[in-house]
């Protein structure tokens, strides 16, 4: 698996147009920070924010690489293929400790610090939060009188659910919905992780419920309805940088902590909406503009 992940990251760098072997630099040069991300827009945006701010502060940074789901990028972080990842507190805690019962932001962050492998550490937790959600169309919500996942549960045997392949097996995915709500869907369609395939399938009624994220601009754009989660199947999901101890210099940590201190849920949603807008600006441009607006950089990172 380790070898496969390393090859995947190398290939991703090559597709991104980076010359040479990016992993060699991150492994051998203690001053170079290699940044990875999930393969969805928000994670890639956050990786660009980190990269631009660190570069502006004088840190040598490799261009970020979108690796894949947590099941791919976290092993890459552990084996040294990358040094820094933007992640979400609750989802990462569930990945590391399936038995954890923490759901509130501070409790999740504390438990995550304890569960993290010793070669890694957390930066400051941001107020910005992007939670997993079970989402339906407005028509489905109205027809079935749905406000929460509890309302959905009696109808699950009639419905097809859509989401990334990993959601089918994650503790807080389909197994969690079954355990906490008794929700057993008729079928599961493996699509993408909160991406355009899932949005299109829900909009086209190929699936009747789906896993999307609360800061996804596709929700208001399509009048989708995120269902309430009264049993807290999904824990707090605050944005948090996760990094290798060997690269976590005071300078690097100070920059990342500044970003976390400035980032709000509303601004995260606004960046996502800008990136998904009709002009489709480059993610690096969106990230650089936000950093300049917040006074973190002088605007030279793009």
**Per-residue pLDDT, 151:** 98
The alpha carbon of residue 266 and the mean position of all alpha carbons in its chain are separated, in whole angstroms, by: 16
Q: Is the dihedral of CA 64, 65, 70, 73 positive or negative?
A: negative
Single pTM value for the model:
0.77
Q: Do domains 2-129+238-293 and 132-226 have the same CATH topology?
A: yes
**Per-residue pLDDT, 27:** 55
15: pLDDT strictly greater than 60: no
Q: Please state the domain extents for the chain.
A: 2-129+238-293, 132-226
283: pLDDT strictly greater than 90: yes
Quote the tokens at residue 188: 């599961």
Q: What is the DSSP string of 107-138?
A: HHHHHHHHHS-TTEEE-PPPS-B--EEEEE-H
Query: Quick one: which of 193, 212, 215, 188 has its CA closest to 126?
Result: 215
Q: What is the pLDDT of residues 117-163, one digit of tens each?
A: 999 999 999 999 999 999 999 999 999 999 999 999 999 999 999 99
Quote the tokens at residue 100: 């954890």
Q: What is the pLDDT of residues 223-277, one digit of tens each?
A: 999 999 999 999 999 999 999 999 999 999 999 999 999 999 999 999 999 998 8
Tell me which fold the domain 2-129+238-293 belongs to. D-Maltodextrin-Binding Protein; domain 2 (3.40.190)
61: pLDDT strictly greater than 80: yes
Tell me which fold the domain 132-226 belongs to. D-Maltodextrin-Binding Protein; domain 2 (3.40.190)
**Per-residue pLDDT, 20:** 37
């Amino acid at each position: 698996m380790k070898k496969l992940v390393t090859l995947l990251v190398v290939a991703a760098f090559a597709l991104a147009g980076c010359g040479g072997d990016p992993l060699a630099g991150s492994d051998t040069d203690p001053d170079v920070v290699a940044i990875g991300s999930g393969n969805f827009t928000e994670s890639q945006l956050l990786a660009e924010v980190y990269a631009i701010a660190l570069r502006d502060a004088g840190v040598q940074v490799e261009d970020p690489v979108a690796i894949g789901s947590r099941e791919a990028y976290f092993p890459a972080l552990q084996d040294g293929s990358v040094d820094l990842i933007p992640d979400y507190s609750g989802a990462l805690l569930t990945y590391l400790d399936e038995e954890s019962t923490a759901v509130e932001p501070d409790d999740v962050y504390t438990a995550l610090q304890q569960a993290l492998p010793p070669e890694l550490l957390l930066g400051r937790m941001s107020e910005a939060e992007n939670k997993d959600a079970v989402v339906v169309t407005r028509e489905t919500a109205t027809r079935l009188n749905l406000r929460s996942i509890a309302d959905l549960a009696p109808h699950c045997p009639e419905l097809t659910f859509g989401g990334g392949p990993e959601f089918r097996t994650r503790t807080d995915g389909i197994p969690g919905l079954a355990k906490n709500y008794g929700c057993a869907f008729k079928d599961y369609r493996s699509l993408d992780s909160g991406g355009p395939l899932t949005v299109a399938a829900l909009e086209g009624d190929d699936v009747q419920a789906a896993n999307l994220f609360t800061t996804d601009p596709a929700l208001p754009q399509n009048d989708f309805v995120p269902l309430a989660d009264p049993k807290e199947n999904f824990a707090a999901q605050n944005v948090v940088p996760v990094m290798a101890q060997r690269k976590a210099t005071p300078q690097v940590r100070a920059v990342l902590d500044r970003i976390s201190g400035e980032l709000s849920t509303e601004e995260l949603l606004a960046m996502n909406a800008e990136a998904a807008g009709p002009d489709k600006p480059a993610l690096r441009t969106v990230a650089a503009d936000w950093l300049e607006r917040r006074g973190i950089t002088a605007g030279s990172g793009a």
